[in-house]
Amino acid sequence: MSVDEILKNAKSVAIVGLSPDESKASNMVARYLLQNGFKIYPVYPKEDEILGLKVYRNLSQISEPIDIAVMFRKGEFAQILIDEVIRKSVLTLWLQLGIVNEAAKLKARQNGVNFVQDKCIKIEFERLKNGITK
């Protein structure tokens, strides 16, 4: 599935590594997605609330379906996260700009999970919103 198709069909986004620090990219991206109508699920180890939303420790704590899990962590973590994504039946694992993991990509593809890496979901959604297709 193309990035455009993924974004057109997504309604819920879990942001893994969503920082409470407003100056961090994960926080800025989450705010942008919230403002553009996405349901956001913060996943972070320490806080109870970020951006006025309940924070989860991992994907399995989220009872609702998740369309996209966006990862703001080091690339190696994707190999752990992909197993959670598969168990939770998340449709897409998205690694933010500068983050890659080929082993996670292979496992995602083998398990029918859409996989995006080294792309910013905010930039891609903005491009799509402005009618610029790839």
Residue 68 amino acid letter: I
Domain of 8 in residue numbering reads as 3-130
Instruction: Give the whole-angstrom CA distance, residue 106 versus residue 46.
Output: 31
What does the pLDDT average to over 3-17?
A: 97
d(C-alpha 2, C-alpha 35), whole Å: 23
Q: For residue 66, give both structure tokens.
A: 């998740």
pLDDT (tens digit per residue) in 83-118: 999 999 999 999 999 999 999 999 999 999 999 999
Q: Which CATH number covers residue 41?
A: 3.40.50.720
For the chain, how many structural domains are there in total?
A: 1
Q: Using the predicted structure, report yes or no on whether residue 45 has a pLDDT greater than 80.
A: yes
Q: Structure pTM?
A: 0.95
Question: What is the chain's Cα-based Rg?
Answer: 14
Q: Find out whether 101 and 117 touch, Cβ atoms under 8 Å.
A: yes
The predicted pLDDT at position 134 comes to 64
